[in-house]
Amino acid sequence: MLQPPRLTVWSSIEELESLKALLYEHADGNDGRPRALEIIRAWSARGRLPHAIESTAHLTECFLHDTPRQSELMVRMGYATAICRFVNGLLDPAQKSRFAVSMYNLAQEQGLPASFVDVRHAATHEALPSIGVLRTTASRALDWLWVHYWDRIDASGGVEDGIGENIGKPVDQAQISRVQALLDRWGALKKGAQGRPREATRRKMENEEAGICTALAGIFKESAGNGLFLEILVHEHLLVMEESGSMMSIYKTTNAWKPLIQHLDAQIEEFATDLLNIVLEALQEVEDSEANGRDDFAETESEYTYQWLEFLISLLIKGQLAAASATLLDDIVSRCILSQNLWCLRLAEYAISQSSVLETKYSQACTAAKKQLANSNGPQRNPDVPATERADPHCSKPDKNTDTDVDMDKELEDFEAKLRSLQAQREQWAVRKALDVSVRGSGTTALTAASQDASTVAPSGSRAARFRRAEGSWVPKPMGIA
């Protein structure tokens, strides 16, 4: 069957091939990227550009403007904007389900590494990543576009429709309802199993639980919407605290859902990886809202989500999940360090403390990340200290660490010494100026007398021709302090 004609902004496949050569096949002496950007701007006037070409142009222009003459902040902002547009333009069209699917799941379905989502999250909600991280991420984005777009160009005239079509079949609403009913039934069974039921009741419950596990595993295998089902499992069951809000409920919850998690992990490929990604993303989102609102509920929610992640990592380290623990733990720890998030850094420290291999690889990086976060954001709340024990930020009680005060005193002393030196120089300059005036008016005799006078006045610094130090109490202050 013949394909319907398709309008493109390029007139022939040769033009597209030529643009690819200008963008990627450049050398130091013959850089065709400026010419390629001019062509892309001309094409954009003809019609809508494919996302791959537009993102390649944005990333390439960032590298061209990354020069010592440019402000580093502007360069970082340019890289961050190009990376965010690259990730959003790639993943947002795939958000077609009724419930919001995690960006990590969408990225996995597209074959996009999770680190791109982390950098995009940091650039949008947290401290702007360093110039080194942004350069590396932008370079990897260009490599990804080459593999998934530019290298696939053939006589068909480009593959702009190839990116973004890896999403599976749409999830049936009936399947969503069935998954929700099965998960609700599991929660009700575990809640009703508290205490010591009779032997017959216990066997009946075990059989029903096994049936729920089998039914859920079958739905997950048949459908391409595992990310949506995992969102329902995590946000509507695992991360739902009891009304009391007590942290003791986390232990009952983890024990209640542990058999189901282990069964699904054994039956479904990459189940543990997807589950950890969603819970870790939830921890980052809670921290963002907590930083804005700073309420006790958000803090309790952060602690609850963190405890779930610690539980899942402990299962992974103990070998009680089918996932490849070494690879998955490396990915989790590296993402936590990159996130510049207090709770994520605490999670990275926990994982490092449980594995000597992780301690060797990431201990120094985790320590450096905590110092960088403390220096960039100022005083932060320590997640290891309960909210009731944290000091009031408005309290005048002095901190045990007085390094800041010592540094301020030293700066004031240095400033006062520089001020005295400047005043002495001004007095000497005034005396020299007076000598010049005397020479012009009185001749050589006046010059000799003035020189003798200057020899007695200038070294002492006690008297000046035009400048005189004000008497009285005077306290030096650095600029900016009223």
DSSP-derived secondary structure letter, 99: S
Measured distance CA(439)–CA(447) in Å, rounded: 5
Q: What is the pLDDT of residue 61?
A: 93
| Contact (CB, 8 A) for 168 and 225 | yes
Measured distance CA(366)–CA(296) in Å, rounded: 27
Q: Which two tokens stand for residue 207?
A: 């059989």
Q: What is the pLDDT of residue 400?
A: 41
What pLDDT band is residue 294 in, cutting at 50, 70 and 90?
very low
Measured distance CA(67)–CA(48) in Å, rounded: 30
Question: Which run of H or E residues covers position 427?
Answer: helix 403-442
Buried b / exposed e over 445-454, threshold 16 CB at 10 Å, is eeeeebeeeb
Pick from 168, 248, 253, 179: which is nearest to 213 by CA? 179
Considering 105-109, 217-221, 348-352, 472-476, the range whose residues carry the highest mean pLDDT is 348-352
Question: In one letter, which amino acid is 176?
Answer: I
Q: What is the pLDDT of residue 84?
A: 92
User: Environment class of residue 321 by beta-carbon count within 10 Å: exposed (0-12), middle (13-18) or buried (19+)?
Assistant: buried
| Contact (CB, 8 A) for 285 and 266 | no
Average pLDDT over residues 346-371: 86
pTM score over 0.85:
no
Question: In one letter, which amino acid is 46?
Answer: R
Flag whether pLDDT at 162 surpasses 70: no
Average pLDDT over residues 122-136: 85
DSSP-derived secondary structure letter, 138: H
| DSSP codes joined into one string, 224-288 | S-HHHHHHHHIIIIIT---TT--TTHHHHHHHHHHHHHHHHHHHSTTHHHHHHHHHHHHHHHHHH
**Distances from the Cα of 60 to the Cα of 54, 111, 148, angstroms:** 10, 22, 17
pLDDT digits (tens, 9 = 90+) for 12-51: 888 888 888 888 887 666 888 899 999 999 988 888 888 9
**Percent of the chain, pLDDT > 70?**
67
DSSP-derived secondary structure letter, 378: -
- The HSE-up count of residue 425 (CA atoms within 13 Å, CB side) is 6
Measured distance CA(226)–CA(469) in Å, rounded: 79
> Cα torsion for 159, 162, 164, 167, to the nearest 10°?
180
Looking at 132-146, 231-245, 266-280, which range is the least confident one?
A: 231-245
Q: What is the pLDDT of residue 302?
A: 81
Measured distance CA(292)–CA(313) in Å, rounded: 28
